[in-house]
Structure 1
Amino acid sequence: MKLLLLISNAFINTMGITQPSPKAANRAAWFIVIMLSAVIGVVATIAALAIHWASHR
């Protein structure tokens, strides 16, 4: 859980978002990690498809 809080705090501080209350910190951490993972997954999928498409031309 500390890793999730570390990642979410880094994201919150980097983006200048208002710090959540301690009560909401865990929920915010899970939300941020899930959203970042989804974005990384989408980017990786698009890159893989682009490489596959380019290599077959």
Structure 2
Amino acid sequence: MAHLLGVENLRLTVGSRLLLDEVTLGLEDGTRVGVLGPNGAGKSTFLAALSGRRE
């Protein structure tokens, strides 16, 4: 299978608050992933960072 998405050492801060530090993730084509959490937990922020829409 082809490598669909990959990130190494992802770091995300909002203001002075560190949200993600040294996150590494790799997904292959055909993999299903669920992102679960309560409202306001940062699911959309996490996915935006993975897709490069948030720096």
TM range (shorter): under 0.3
Whichever of the two has the greater Rg, that structure is 1
Point out which structure has higher relative CO (alpha carbons under 8 A, 6+ apart).
1
Greater helix proportion? 1
Greater strand proportion? 2
